Amino acid sequence: MGKSARLGGGFLLLLSALALGYAYWDELQGARETLQLTYAHRSLSAARDAPVKGVTVFRNGYSTGGVQMQLSAELLAARTGDGELAAYLSQFVAVEGLHESVYHGSDASNAKEKDHGELETPGVVADRVFNGQGELLQAYADILSGDRLYLVAPGLLFVWPFVELGHRVSVTSTASPTSSPVIIESISESPRTFRLHNFFDDEEADRLIQRTLEIDDPGSKLQQSHVGHNSGKKQVSRHRTSENAFDTISETAVSIRKRVFDVLSIGEYTEDMCDGLQLLRYQQKQAYIAHEDYFPVNVTPGFNFDPHTGGSNRFATVFLYLSNVTRGGQTVFPLAEMPEGLPVEYDHPVNSARDYEAAGAELFEPGSWEMDMVRKCSTKLASYPRKGGAVLFYSQKPNGQLDPLSLHGGCPVLDGTKWGANLWVWNKRRYGLDGDPDGPEIKFSVVFENPTSREVGVYWSSTLMTTLAANGGSIVYTTYTGHKWTVKDGDRMILEFIGDAEDGDRQTVVVLTPEEQLIAHANAQSAKDEL
């Protein structure tokens, strides 16, 4: 067929289209108006006062299995009380609760065991609902059309969902020194890990490093890291060669602790729900073998460290990178692979496995635990240290079960020095301070006051809880009858306090040195003799 024939055919088609357009002009205008109305309706539906909103409802922390539904303002108008919105939505999603929920007021035979011993607990009613920005919602007016909603059962904390690789959420913290919101970026679903952007700034990093070098309290100053306590004495390990210090009182440390609560969306900052800010220095060849941050559930007789049965344990960790590292120093998760599709700046460098192993071979013996870590650090899921960066990961699953995939380690520093800081947040008050859930809860408040000229350490059992500032430092804890507290000046015990609720709802313990105690005792005895 020639070119003129093709042109003629195209001209006829154009004439036909114009004729149809003229014949159906009114209908096309109507369709256009309909499309505009539909678009306007969809825009209106996204507003908080829209009569109907489309949402997807998920279990706490889940990225899949959501239920799409239309919510009506008329139906939910009266559900504005605490937990009423969450209770209504619980009808449509199999909410995960604590293990004890199976036996509380329900037939345990209804619980179906899933893989890995997990229990599905039908009939659990959530008491909170969050949106995809981590905001607690109370009523229909708080919801926007298109929201992803997450139902949280009683006794559990909100857990950020993974959603997908690279998913980002902005969170505003009033404790942040920057004007920018903190960005939470999804990296891995299992273990649940995120990168934090704008969480802290370079000035804070420099202040924390300087603070680390200045702390002179024997119990908190920079020294070889330990791996726990035994009979009140710190235990060191050849598998943890870094140095650490603790900061619980500086303005920067307190600000960061408060900021973490905002990022985790777990409510008002509570001193008792987080450890002191641990400051770390890894010099060349130093590392920390893979470990979990949570405590074994049977670590201390008489206390419940199993959060899935209502106990208390470490819930999440935020690790801050205070410096750049020339080579090495990653945070590695050896039970997980690097996800495909990571941005180049997050992924293992090209030829890293070969280059890192060659560098490690010059520093470590063949077959050593350090060499084993070097190999895993350049092949498994890892976060590379960059000043100003931070990583968040969870030690617990959304239903409170401890997550063994949170196993992680501090990779050997092959060149340079790594400065870091980490904060552990608990799902409840630390170290069983809410009492034994199987026993009577006879609790009271104890105030520790330090009028002396030296910083002192306050210990619950054998664990350092905080460092009290000199010349008037004080702190309040909730404790229980029979709990033992000690106050130490370095390694020297100043006093011991064993609580008894019968002595009052609020008790005060004033820190005095042994010499001051002798003087106080002598003065009291003299006053008694005068009577």
Q: Please name the residue ranges forming H helices in 303-384.
A: 352-361, 369-377
pLDDT at 469: 87
Least confident residue range of 4-18, 422-436, 512-526: 4-18
pLDDT of res. 258: 93
Mean pLDDT calculated for residue range 498-510: 84
Quote the pTM value: 0.71
Q: Please tell me whether residues 447 and 427 are part of one structural domain.
A: no
Question: Cβ distance 190 to 383 under 8 Å?
Answer: no
Count: domains in the chain: 3
pLDDT at 209: 93
Bridge partners (DSSP) listed for residue 277: 247
174 found inside a domain: no
- What is the average pLDDT across 80-104? 83
Q: Which domain holds residue 485?
A: 443-530
- What would the pLDDT profile of 218-228 be if each residue is shown by its tens digit? 656 676 554 44
- Please check whether residues 449 and 396 belong to one and the same domain: no
Last residue of one domain, picked from the residues 432, 466, 499: 432
**pLDDT tens digits for range 242-287:** 788 888 888 999 999 999 999 999 999 988 899 889 999 999 999 9
DSSP state at residue 343: -
Give the range among 81-90, 126-135, 229-238 with minimum mean pLDDT.
Answer: 229-238
In a domain, 170, yes or no: no
Tokens of 346: 């997050």
Residue from 364, 361, 345 nearest 353 by CA = 361
Checking if the pLDDT of 293 tops 90, the result is: yes
- The C-alpha atoms of residue 192 and residue 403 are separated, in whole angstroms, by 9
Q: Are both 117 and 204 inside the same structural domain?
A: no
pLDDT at 114: 44
The owner of tokens 């641990």 is 278
Question: Sheet holding 492-498: strands in order across?
Answer: 463-468, 456-460, 484-489, 492-498
- CB-count burial class (<10 Å; 0-12, 13-18, 19+) for 255: middle
CA angle 182, 183, 185 (to 5 degrees): 150
Query: What is the arithmetic mean of pLDDT over 405-410?
Result: 97
Residue 259: which of 173, 372, 375, 144 has the closest Cα?
173
Tell me: do 299 and 407 sit in the same domain.
yes
